Amino acid sequence: MVDAETLLSPVLEKIAKEQDYDDYKTDISLFVSGGANYTSQLYNITISAPKKDDLKLFAKVAVLGEKLRSLTTMQVFETEIMFYTKIMEKYREYEERYNFPKEERLVLPKYYGGSTEYMKETIVLEELSAQGYQAFDRFKCYDWEYASKCVSILARIHALSVRFERENTEEFEDLIEKLAFKFPMNDMKDMMEKAVAGAIGATAEEYRGRLAMFIQQNMTEENILKFYNPTRKVVLNHGDFRPSNVLHKTNENGELEVVLIDYQVLQKGNPVSDLLYFFILGSDEHFREKHKDQYFNHYYEEFSKTLKRLEIDPDDVYTKEDFDGDVKEMLPIGIVIGMISLPFVTVDVQNAPSLEDGIDLQSFDMELSDIFRKRFNALVKDYVNMGIL
């Protein structure tokens, strides 16, 4: 375990000074995510001082080891800090200029400070749990109310990035190239082979052959990269849009409020990438049967509505025909998402892996849970019914 107090001490000292907390005391306690987070250790922090209300903070301290860092272009917390500061500064300006109603403005935790020093990265944010927000239970599947709220927020984030592109084209292009995800196919080969073998082994015998054939024919680097490389429209994607990265609370009027968090892997992408990721990792067969078309259509309606508010014609940016084409083309990748990412989402708490120093992708293994087996089999059956498998 990292020495959180040592790493956080200079950051918290700066925050206390900026917030005029003299003679302050800090209380730091480890927050256990129960398998919902793999790259950081999480902490709840209280800064207290005489004649001041307690300052409730939430901190992430990087634990990603050097072996795994070498496989990705991700700068730990650098991208997330940039989002909470520079990018959100632009988005807030657009929301103000185009008179977004309060209920349609992005709700985010306040950024207080952090460090991007290599192997000592930290980020400190407002603790939203102190305001009644709580994390989604990763072992459950969402309902339509929850999913539609989350998708609406995603659509606004994507649309705001289009306004960013329109007004600051050169800056936007430089940014998305910097955030282009490079998939380390060769380095991940062993891990992916294990994931594929595990998924096939967990699949009901009647569909096992179909799945194996589909994987043999479709699980190529070219097809996987379709998930990351936009074909029709580029936006700034969240990059890890799953239920575990959403907080929620019910307001006094009974309305559900959700907050999308964790912009650590913000990246250049196709809008459908974020949308499909959330769809595969949070839905069950009942949701997909009843809401599949509604889910994707709702996203496009919200995306279009936000573009119009930003005085941009949706048909000049991303037509419904192009969007539907992307959904059709990328939907088969959902099986790959299920094989590779669903085990992380559904892993039993006691079997959740650590990504600290000493582990690499060759030795990385994931014990499949009963929940994974149930949800993945339901997904395979749905894909058979859709004619994809």
pTM of the prediction? 0.93
Residues in the chain where the model's pLDDT stays below 50: 357-358
352 located within any domain: no
Question: What domain range is 87 assigned to?
Answer: 4-181+228-331
54 located within any domain: yes
Cα–Cα–Cα angle for 250, 255, 259, rounded to 5 degrees = 60
Tokens 């700068």 appear where? 75
* Number of domains within the chain: 1
383 located within any domain: no
Q: What does the pLDDT read at residue 358?
A: 46
pLDDT tens across 283-339, in order? 999 999 999 999 999 999 999 999 999 999 999 999 999 999 999 999 999 999 999
150 located within any domain: yes
360 located within any domain: no
Q: What does the pLDDT read at residue 259?
A: 96
381 located within any domain: no
368 located within any domain: no
pLDDT tens across 26-53, in order? 999 988 766 556 678 899 999 999 999 9
Q: 31-38 contacts: CB < 8 A, separation 24 or more?
A: 31/58, 33/135, 33/244, 34/138, 34/349, 34/352, 35/138, 35/344, 35/347, 35/348, 35/349, 35/351, 35/352, 36/135, 36/138, 36/244, 37/244, 38/344, 38/352, 38/353, 38/354, 38/355
